[in-house]
Structure 1
Amino acid sequence: MTQIIVLPHVELCPDGTVIEAAAGTSICDALLENGIEIEHACEKSCACTTCHVIVREGIDSLNEAEEEEEDLLDKAWGLEPQSRLSCQALVAETPLVVEIPRYTINMAREGKH
């Protein structure tokens, strides 16, 4: 199991937490399985940006982002070089530190997709 440190998020995880995930699990699934209700409006199909996270440590251990994910990330609120869509980022063996941005843009719901 791989350790994921989730930094504090005002609504979803006010105190931050540490969770465990099996290698090959998406960050999104790991968060949801541990009671952190990250938004995933497109049901994890890589069609929106609501599950955007910033991987503060360990990003090099994740699978490489596909072009479709990269294109969507360009539309994410608060985009940073370490940004990933958590539904597409698969956990490896390296511990991660993940930040959930304060805001999200729901491309599906807001009719912008």
Structure 2
Amino acid sequence: MPKITVLPHFEICPEGAEVELESGSNLCKALLEKGIKIEHACEMSKACTTCHIVVRKGFNGLEEMDDIEADLLDRAWGLEPDSRLSCQVIIENDDLVIEIPKYTLNHAKENH
């Protein structure tokens, strides 16, 4: 099983985390199941950017993003070349190191 390292985020995951996830899993859903409460205001329907992550290691091992995800990411706070929407990332066989950006464009936290 691939190991996913979540770098420390002051609010969502202050200590950082290391979790093993099944290949074929949706990254956002799997993180939520492991207790990492990443924002996901659109309920993972690819309509916002609140689940934006930066893949610090393993980006090239992921399936390419589609045009809709790429267009949405243009609106994400802190966009970087290795940014993705975690709700659109399917875990492959490679280990990942991800960073959750400090802010999102979400004006109010959802009750997730």
Mark yes or no: TM-score above 0.5.
Answer: yes
TM range (shorter): over 0.9
Please list every run of 5 or more consecutive structure 1 residues that lacks an aligned counterpart in the other structure.
none
Cα distance in 2 between the residues matched to 1:93 and 1:64: 15
- How high is the TM-score relative to the length of structure 1? 0.92
Question: What's the Cα RMSD here?
Answer: 1.2
**How much does 1:30 deviate?**
1.8
Cα distance in 1 between the residues matched to 2:28 and 2:55: 12
Preserved contact between residue 2 and residue 92 of structure 1 (Cα < 8 Å): yes
Aligned partner of 1:53 in structure 2 is 53
- How high is the TM-score relative to the length of structure 2? 0.93
Q: May I ask how many residue pairs the two structures share in their alignment?
A: 108
Task: Please state if 1:36 is matched with 2:36.
Answer: yes
Aligned partner of 1:10 in structure 2 is 10
Aligned partner of 1:100 in structure 2 is 100
Cα distance in 2 between the residues matched to 1:54 and 1:27: 12
**How much does 1:106 deviate?**
2.6
Please list every run of 5 or more consecutive structure 2 residues that lacks an aligned counterpart in the other structure.
none
Preserved contact between residue 12 and residue 37 of structure 1 (Cα < 8 Å): yes
Cα distance in 2 between the residues matched to 1:102 and 1:7: 11
**How much does 1:105 deviate?**
0.9
Cα distance in 1 between the residues matched to 2:26 and 2:6: 14
